Amino acid sequence: MKPTPDPQTPDPQTPDPQTPVLSVRGLSVRFRMRGGRHIAAVSDACFDLAAGECLALVGESGCGKSVLASALLGLLPGNAQTEGSAVLGDGTDLLTADERTLARTVRGRRIGLVPQSPAAHLTPVRTVRAQLEETLRELTGIRKPALRAAAEQAAARAAFPAGHLDRYPHELSGGLAQRAATALALIGDAPLLLADEPTTGLDRDLVERTVDELRRHTDGGRALLIITHDLAAAERIADRVAVMYAGRIVELAEADRFFGEPGPRHPYARGLLDALPERAFAPIPGMPPELGALPDGCAFAARCSRADDRCSAPPPFDGHLACHHGVRAGTEESAHA
Amino acid sequence: MLELTRITAGYDPRDPVVRDASLTIAPGESVGLLGPSGCGKSTLAKVAALLHRPDAGTVVLDGRPVRGWRHGAPRAQRTAVGVVFQQPRLSADPRLSLRELIAQPLRATGRRAEVTDRVAELAPAVGLTAELLNRRPHEVSDGQLQRACLARALVLRPRWLICDEMTAMLDASTTAALVAVVEAYRRESGAGLLAVGHDRVLLERWCDRTVGWQGISGRVATQESMSPTG
Ligand code: SF4
């Protein structure tokens, strides 16, 4: 825990470079449905996240990436069953910690959440200043009269203009609402920031500004897990990219190799990039399978031009790739050729 | 032609979000209208779709001035325009199955007899399986629901399509797939398109020409919500 709060210090505690800020192993989330059905929303996710690093978790809506985020925050609904572990740098396992621990010591303090729709996340009937002050009181113990200055400093850290502090959320533009939400997320000096679709609905220049600001906080020593379907935002901000498909991480790669040369190795990831309007603008044929009725073999097989007999067995994830016929690094060959 | 001339529109007559905007689309032409969120382009899209009565200005659809809006528009004009919005959940009746959702405009115009054929034609085109057609909106993803909303917009074979941020919530592959459906329909039908959005790369790839919001507006609204820094 942080001892004396000091809102002037922009960086979290000096992290131990040896221990990842977050270490996820074999994380699975299943939902029990009526009639004994199960939905495998997340299967066997494994990744580490270090201080000063940004990992972008990308994939289409319904691929399980938001469920994974909810699992890390302990915000899964009652019918969810989890397996595996998600351990913070201090040893807390997010999957086994009880709600009291999560509420008192994790959310806001160890993990700062930059929410998907900031306007909805902010309390509509209270000004930004009131919300910042309340969170400061709660997380840092600062009291009046220091509170006012502390709120202004907290706002400044997220580039939220002091002149707008007395506004209500509905009086803010999308960009300012996002900054207000980011300011709230930064207050607890959490070593891990989790941003869930932080750029949805924002204009391109605002997307860029938002991710650049998040990147700045990462460069300040935080670890950032950004969950997004916006590949351009991921390319701009991430050090590494994890691609999720039908509940599984199918590729985990360095961002510059993924977006640049030699490009993704997984056929789905290649298809996703090819679909961008600045690239081939060609959709991947078909749709993802239902998470409640996944095939026995590779979940992408029905849409994959490389599928063959081997793909009727599930491809194991080797830490980089889950595919029997991944594109080899250094080949020009396209999965859709 | 779809001609929007000197349109002023909004929700508060003292502070309209669209001021003196003009835009003309030729038959078969696709025009991208690019602007930041909150600039009023969605309101203009609603005017073009005959869903929002402007405070001033004229809309001329295939040579006929539009005098009624929403249900007040003559059926021939209303059915000439198909529209898809950004958020499928806000525009889909949660009680209807996707099949009923797609067929809704046919039923509303007394063309029940065409339902089976049209749905059978459109569902594979937008990538919906028979099983998905039986589900209700809460049982499908945003992308699947938007596929159904696009099929609904096409079900009456409109001469004009208005797509207001149709793909803003969707992943790259679903975006490319839905744009391909629109373009296939336009090739076959010769329909014109107004695609409203904030993604320049997308609109420039998609449309014959792309116009900026400021370029079509007589006077740019100066409200706070327009400025990215507030
Ligand atoms: S395992 Fe087979 S079906 Fe799956 S992505 Fe790789 S090649 Fe395609």
Domains along chain B with CATH numbers: 1-68+161-167+191-223 (3.40.50.300)
Q: Averaged over B13-39, what is the pLDDT?
A: 91
pLDDT for res A323? 97
For the beta sheet containing B30-34, the strands, ordered from the edge strand earlier in sequence to the opposite edge, are: B81-84, B160-164, B192-197, B30-34, B209-212
Q: How far apart are CA A61 and CA A272, in angstroms?
A: 13
CA of B85 to the centre of ligand 1 (A): 35
CA of B229 to the centre of ligand 1 (A): 45
Listed in sequence order, the residues at least 6 apart from A269 whose beta carbon sits closer than 8 Å to its beta carbon are A243, A250, A251, A258
A280: nearest Cα among B197, B127, B187, B205: B205
Q: What is the pLDDT of residues B157-210, one digit of tens each?
A: 999 999 999 998 888 999 999 999 999 999 999 999 999 998 899 999 999 999
Q: Is the pTM of this model over 0.80?
A: yes
Q: How far apart are CA A194 and CA A223, in angstroms?
A: 8
Query: By CA distance, what is A282's nearest residue in B?
Result: B176
3-state SS, residue A78: coil
B228 and A60 in contact by Cβ < 8 A? no
Report whether A119 contacts A201 (CB < 8 A): no
CB distance from B230 to chain A under 8 Å? yes
Q: How far apart are CA B159 and CA B178, in angstroms?
A: 18
Q: How far apart are CA A266 and CA A285, in angstroms?
A: 15
CA of B175 to the centre of ligand 1 (A): 23
Q: Which of A204, A271, A277 sits opposite B198 (nearest CB)?
A: A204
Q: Averaged over B65-74, what is the pLDDT?
A: 91
Q: Is the CB of A240 under 6 A from ligand 1?
A: no
| Rounded alpha-carbon distances, angstroms, from residue A156 to A5, A175, A187 | 17, 14, 11
Residues in chain A with CB shorter than 8 Å from the CB of B37 are 174, 201-203
Q: What is the pLDDT of residues B96-146, one digit of tens each?
A: 999 999 999 999 999 999 999 999 999 999 999 998 999 999 988 888 999
In order along its 337 residues, chain A shows pLDDT tens digits of 444 444 444 444 454 556 899 999 999 999 998 888 889 999 999 999 999 999 999 988 778 888 999 999 998 998 999 999 999 999 999 999 999 999 989 998 999 998 876 666 678 888 999 999 999 998 888 898 899 999 999 998 888 889 999 999 888 877 788 888 888 988 988 999 999 888 876 777 778 888 898 998 899 899 999 999 889 999 999 999 999 999 999 999 999 999 999 999 999 999 999 999 999 999 999 888 888 889 999 999 999 999 999 999 999 999 999 999 998 765 544 444 3
Q: Is the CB of A317 under 6 A from ligand 1?
A: no
pLDDT for res A118? 67
- Count the alpha carbons within 13 Å of B140 in the hemisphere toward its beta carbon: 26
3-state SS, residue B183: helix
Q: What is the largest CA-CA distance in chain A?
A: 70
3-state SS, residue A196: strand
